[in-house]
């Protein structure tokens, strides 16, 4: 393997699920800049199309609700057929309902689990079928620091993000003999449209910034590197792992700096 081409995605067929905004949008644009042929899939078709229009002539877009197992399977199967291959699938969508456990409703519980856990499973399963048959490919699912550290109001979201970690590990064990790698990226707090309400609250924004070693929030484009590393040949012997892109949040959580240090 030529070492200078480790991160080169030229000609690679990549699907970015949730690529219509936020981290997914940044990753889709980053993958295209690294030479990939990117298809943006998102529940918001207009947003997906807008991002795809910025990818160049080979970019494509499609509407996809990851809660719909048949739709996910059909979308990825069609992509692999039309492009002749499927090299990487990156799945970013998730939602959160911040409420104490005792106030959670059945509908809220089902909604968060359906997107975060069932949706991720649907993408993983559909991509896995295609890639294990082809005996090659990389799948990257998004977890979170909440798989490890929590706070009040994060119960169901944290549960799903921890579940993704075990889902990824199991898929890595099952798909590995067929040459397919499966990994997770676990961001900390990232500046996206979904976190805008939190960032609008100065105390909340600053408290989160101070939780990381870098004393700030991540920008969405800072998730490109970790994600594309796992998707590329640079991570050819990396599978079943969780890459924390959290500015050191989980490393120093609960820290106390003694006087004089």
- Cross-strand pairs, 144: none
Q: Exposed/middle/buried for 64, CB within 10 Å: 0-12, 13-18, 19+?
A: buried
Catalytic residue among 7, 104, 157, 208: 157
Collapsed DSSP state (helix, strand, coil) of residue 210: coil
Residues in contact with 219: Cβ distance below 8 Å, sequence separation at least 6, in sequence order: 190, 191
Assigned token pair, 34: 């690294």
One DSSP character per residue, 177-194 reads GGTEEEEEEEE-SEESGG
The phi, psi pair for 68, rounded to 5°, reads: -95, 105
Helix (H) or strand (E) holding 61: strand 60-63
208 is catalytic: no
Assigned token pair, 142: 């998004």
C-alpha 212, offset from chain centre: 20
The phi, psi pair for 195, rounded to 5°, reads: -95, 5
Alpha-carbon span 57 to 87, nearest angstrom: 19
Q: Which active-site residues does the annotation give?
A: 157
């Amino acid at each position: 393997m030529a070492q200078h081409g480790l991160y080169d995605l030229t000609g690679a067929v990549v699907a970015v699920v949730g690529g219509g905004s936020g981290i997914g949008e940044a990753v889709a644009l980053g993958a295209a800049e690294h030479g990939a042929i990117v298809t943006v899939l998102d529940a918001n078709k207009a947003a997906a199309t807008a991002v795809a229009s910025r990818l160049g002539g080979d970019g494509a877009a499609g509407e996809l609700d990851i809660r719909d197992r048949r739709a996910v399977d059909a979308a990825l199967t069609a992509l692999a057929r039309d492009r002749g291959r499927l090299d990487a699938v990156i799945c970013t969508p998730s939602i959160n309902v911040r409420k104490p456990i005792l106030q959670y409703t059945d509908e809220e519980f089902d909604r968060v689990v359906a997107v975060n856990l069932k949706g991720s499973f649907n993408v993983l399963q559909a991509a896995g079928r295609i890639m294990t048959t082809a005996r090659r490919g990389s799948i990257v699912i998004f977890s979170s620091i909440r798989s490890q550290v929590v706070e009040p109001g994060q119960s169901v979201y944290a549960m799903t993000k921890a579940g993704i970690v075990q889902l990824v590990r199991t898929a890595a064990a099952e798909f590995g003999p067929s040459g397919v790698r499966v990994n997770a990226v676990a961001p900390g707090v990232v500046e996206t449209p979904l976190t805008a309400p939190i960032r609008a609250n100065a105390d909340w924004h600053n408290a989160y910034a101070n939780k990381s070693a870098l004393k700030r929030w991540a920008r969405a484009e800072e998730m490109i590197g970790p994600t594309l590393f796992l998707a590329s040949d640079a991570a050819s012997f990396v599978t079943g792992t969780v890459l924390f892109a959290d500015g050191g949040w989980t490393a120093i959580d609960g820290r106390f700096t003694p006087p004089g240090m």
